[in-house]
Structures are given as structure tokens and as C-alpha cells.
Amino acid sequence: MLNVKWKSLLVFSLIAVLLCGCQPTGANAEVGPDDTQDAAMQEKTDEEEAEAILASMYDFTSESVFNKKDFFEYMPTAEIVGIKGDDCVAVPKKDLYYVMQGGCTDGTYVYVILEAQGGLDTETRNNPTLLRKLDMSTWEIVAENRLNLGHGNGMTYNSRLNQLVVAHYRPGNQVSFINPDTLELVESRTIDYEISNIGYNATYDKYVASAGRMAFYILDADFNQLLYSKGEGIDAAVQGIDCDDNYIYIGNSIVEKGYETVRVYDWNGEYKFAYRIGSGQEQEAIFHYGDKFYVTFYTGNGGTIYEIKYDFSLITK
């Protein structure tokens, strides 16, 4: 949805222009029941026309919309809703582990990483991290384990391997594989390029990984590059990658500006749409299972998990 204040001003301005010179004035003007009905119908038609003009000016199915400095004000908003009634799921801090980072789900459990930024090793840039496991039937923490996963910036679930795959980000060319049952490290691997976020699709047996602030890779199961897309639009830190059989979802965040967004691409790397995420907190991870999508936020004392609802009817396939 568009920013209500600016949307209203623009719509009313356009209606005024459309109606200018079309209404009778002065002593000879007569208003009857039919005139009132016609005026109401005309106002509705003019408002619809004004809405259409506004939509054409801010067409988020086109990358050109990002050339407008105020695009964020008019970006359609993806709805975030509570999971337990009206409430979000809170993931509290523990000791120095207070910064929410990567997250994912296997459909039964949600896995999130909390980073102890106060424990930064300035030489290796490899922070202590706490991996937590939440039961989605109760949303209670059922297990946790301390691991060294760097920044722990991105995480996905590979159902073919039955393993969690973590993109460290620090260092950027390292990924780790974790047993979701025990939360123990299986192996770490060094790849040929740097990534900060990662998503996995079991149907295609492919990963999607960030390649900077806007660009991304599509990779095979062995991390060989299949496609590189330069990305468009929102020059902001990547905060989460998700992918299903239809689309690739790339989260972006400039928290000081309030830019919390998700860009949508197809599997050919072509831009499709962008959503604004309606929150004043820093977005950290996006993931889904079935038709339910989730987003996590860093709160300063751990994080929160919400359900997110995209209006897919806005996307032109």
C-alpha cells in the first residue's frame, strides 16, 4: 500500500485537476438528486483515474521506479502479523549472545543464530555464536549450542542433506554445515568467492547467495556458479535470502533510514517486484515453509519472529 499522507494529497490534487472547469457555479447552478448521484459517480471515477495515474508513476514491477528519490514512500507494504495470537515470538539474548543474525526453518523447527559481538576476535573476525532451535508447535526453545560461525549472517535448510547451511560472512568465503538434530558442526568449507547470505531450493537443488549489496548468485549443490545477477534498486545491506519454486526473495536493510525491504526475482535473475516491510526494527532473516513466510528482527536484546504476508497478485509474471 502507498504512504497514506502523500497518496491522499496526490489523489486529491489529481481529482481537482480533473474536475477543474467541469462543475457549474454561480446563481444559475441547480443541484437535484440526479446531480448529486452523478457527482458522486464522477468523484469515484476521478479517484480511480487518479489512483491509476499514481500507480503508473510508481510501478514497482519496473526497476525504473528506483530512480525516483521518494520510491520508498510509495512502496507496497508486506503485512507482518503475530504468530501466537497478536504476539510475535521473542528470542531473548543469553549472556553476550544478543544480536539476531541468520535464521531458517525445516517446517518443524526454526533455527536462529545469536552473535556475541562483544567477543569479536579482531584477527580472525570470527565471533562466538549461539545456535538456537525452536519448536514451531509451541515456539519454545528446545535446544541450543555454542559454535564459531563468524557473523552467522545467513542460514538455510538443505532438505536433501538434512543439514543447516550457514554463510559466515566473516570470513565471507566460508560456509558451515550443521546437523539440525544435534546442532553439532558437520564440516566447514571454503568457497571461491565471498557471500553474506544464502537460501536453498530442494526442487532445483540450488542455492541462492548474495554477491554484494544488490547482486546475487545462483549456485549448484557444489557451490558452482550457474548465474550472476547484478540486482537493481535498493543499495542496502542484504539481510536474508529466501527462495521457493517461483521466486527468489532478497531482504535489504538500511536501518537508519527505516529501509526494510524484500526484492523479488525469478529464477532467470530477472527483477519482478519489491515490498516494504512495515517495521521500525532491523530485519535479519527471511524464510518460509509451504505457504507461510517469516521474517526476523534484531531488537537489541535478541530478536523477534513474525509471519509475513506478501500480496503476490501485485507481481506480474
The tens digit of pLDDT for each residue in 236-275 reads: 889 999 999 999 999 998 877 778 899 999 999 999 999 9
Grid cell listed for 305: 519472529
What pLDDT was estimated at residue 43?
A: 63
Residue that wins the pLDDT comparison between 102 and 86: 102
The pTM of this model reads: 0.83
Q: Taking all residues of the chain, what is their mean pLDDT, rounded to a whole number?
A: 85
Contact (Cβ atoms closer than 8 angstroms) between residue 89 and residue 112: no
Residue 52 pLDDT > 90 = no
178 φψ region: left (φ > 0), alpha (ψ -120 to 50), beta (else)? beta
Residue 20 pLDDT > 90 = no
Residue that wins the pLDDT comparison between 26 and 196: 196
Mean pLDDT, to the nearest integer, of 67-86?
Answer: 86
Pairwise CA distance, residues 280 & 220, whole Å: 36
Residue that wins the pLDDT comparison between 85 and 83: 83
Residue 130: strand, helix, or coil = strand
What pLDDT was estimated at residue 16?
A: 47
Bond before 76 cis per omega within 30 degrees: no
Residue 103 pLDDT > 60 = yes
What pLDDT was estimated at residue 31?
A: 56
pLDDT tens digits, 211-223: 988 899 999 999 9
The count of residues in the chain is 317
Class of the CATH-defined domain 77-314: mainly beta
pLDDT band of residue 145 (cuts 50, 70, 90) is very high
Contact (Cβ atoms closer than 8 angstroms) between residue 210 and residue 250: yes
Residue 23 pLDDT > 60 = no
Residue 176 pLDDT > 50 = yes
Mean pLDDT, to the nearest integer, of 122-141?
Answer: 84
What pLDDT was estimated at residue 13?
A: 47
Question: Which residue carries 526442487 as its cell?
Answer: 203
- What is the per-residue burial (b if ≥16 Cβ within 10 Å, else e) of 159-189? eeeebbbbbbbbebebbbebebeebebeeee
Within 8 A by CB and 6+ apart from 216, the residues are: 208, 209, 210, 228, 229, 231, 241, 248, 250, 265, 269
